[in-house]
Amino acid sequence: MRCALARRRESDPMHSTPLKLVWLLATVGLAGYLAFTLASPGADRRFFQPGPLTDGHHQIEIACESCHTPFGGVRQEACLDCHTAELEAALDSHAASIFDDPRNAADLDRIDVRACVTCHTEHRPDITAPMGVTLPADFCAPCHETVADDRPTHRGLSIDTCASGGCHNYHDNRALYEDFLVEHGNGGPETFAGVLPPRETRVSWDAVERAPLTAADADVPASALGDGGRDSFAGAPLTAADADAPASALGDRALIEAWAGSAHAAAGVGCADCHRPGGAAWTDAPALPACAACHELEPEGFLAGRHGMRLAAGLEPMSPAHARLPMRPDARSLTLGCGTCHDAHAVDVRRAAVDGCVACHDDEHTAAYADSPHARLWAQELAGEAPPGSGVSCASCHLPREPRRVAGGERIVVEHNQNANLRPNEKMIRDVCLRCHSLQLSIDALADAALIRRNFAGRPAARVESIDMALSRRE
């Protein structure tokens, strides 16, 4: 005689053999699929994320291995692999090496500042503040609570305003340290006519003298030259070696004319230099390595920034479709490489300075640029009414010309990591703002979010008192 429980089991559909089999197969299948996905670099693994990533990392969110070591957590080296250079350049005020000394053991018990993840925890948008900081805003307190004892000017200031009021940064204080404030904060006009230093673009073969090329030198098949063929251009004929480009290389006359007027043609760089890099087969769309073969320094910044970090992580290139910032709907299909901003054939740096940006970006700050004082200066420079370097384009601030130490001295190089001087934005002061503005105006403006949205049309709403405080200590 069967008991009631057994009868109930028999009547339960989940205890029938076929359903058990289906359930088992479904479970094993799902587990297998998830395990395969998790172990497949390049697969969309957002399903496994405990929460969305910060704005600085979401571009590479499916490249889990960029940060995570399988069964090893997030190693400090994973952060440093990408961020060491900028921390060193920032003369990091709180370098981990400072705190390793055992005399700091008591401080480290309260907050272990040697590990990046102590302050920058990922996947926690609920507690993430600007700069990816996931600590409460009074994180300076454990070590600097008594600052007013040494600095009477700081009496009454709230400890949660150290890094949020335009006065201090945790890592980069190159434009904010006391002696700098004193040196640059003492009088002088708020705004003056400055110019950016000229770019000192150099390429790896710059020692090689090449003769300038013209459209007639375009080393593509004759069929690519359009009506009239090569005879329609003045100049020397192509060499036979260049005539083996595939049919896919057929271009149009406008491209060749754009190239013929470019710095590339003037420098003797022909079609094959980019389209057949290193003598390889012809490619219609040369990738970054073709550019990097000659332009050594610029790709490094591009790959470190939000535009290029997907490429650096081995993913498909960044696209406006992936962006969190507002982008123009008609730009969603674009992908980011050198040619996206520079125009592959005209390679016009002026186009890359503004038009390349506004072709995609569609936020308040971008929209306000056209009517800004900076844009007026840029228009004057373009019209030839003002000297080169006096206009202020998007690139003047976001792709700044910076001195870079190279063998044999310094060179002015365009930093192609457009985000490098925005985290935090006081990084922009030294190489950008101070070219034309006082330190006081620069600090005040960068601390005013509303003014930034208006693209600096108007004046800062408040005065940051750090310079006054620094000067008062020297009286």
- Can you give the binding site for another protein, defined by CB under 8 A? 17, 20-21, 23-24, 91, 95, 97-98, 100-106, 108-109, 143, 150, 174, 177, 179-180, 473-474
Question: Which is closer to another protein, CB of 100 or CB of 363?
Answer: 100
- Residue 298 CA neighbour count, 13 Å, CB half: 24
- Burial letters for 327-360: b for 16+ Cβ neighbours within 10 Å, e otherwise? beeebeebbbbbbbbbbbbbbbbeebbbebbebb
First to last CA, the chain: 103
Question: Which is closer to another protein, CB of 181 or CB of 245?
Answer: 181
In terms of Cβ atoms closer than 10 Å to its own Cβ (0-12, 13-18, 19+), residue 464 is buried
Closest distance of CB 21 from another protein, Å = 7
- Asked if 236 and 217 touch (Cβ cutoff 8 Å), the reply is yes
Question: Which is closer to another protein, CB of 103 or CB of 155?
Answer: 103
Question: Which is closer to another protein, CB of 24 or CB of 127?
Answer: 24
Question: Which is closer to another protein, CB of 20 or CB of 324?
Answer: 20
Closest distance of CB 24 from another protein, Å = 6
Closest distance of CB 111 from another protein, Å = 14
Closest distance of CB 318 from another protein, Å = 33
Question: Which is closer to another protein, CB of 179 or CB of 227?
Answer: 179
Closest distance of CB 28 from another protein, Å = 8
Closest distance of CB 417 from another protein, Å = 20
- Asked if 339 and 284 touch (Cβ cutoff 8 Å), the reply is no
Closest distance of CB 2 from another protein, Å = 17
Q: CA-to-CA distance for 63 and 46, rounded, in angstroms?
A: 10
Q: CA-to-CA distance for 75 and 19, rounded, in angstroms?
A: 45
Question: Which is closer to another protein, CB of 101 or CB of 126?
Answer: 101
- Burial letters for 41-73: b for 16+ Cβ neighbours within 10 Å, e otherwise? eeeebeeeeeebbbbbbbbbbbbbebbeeeeee
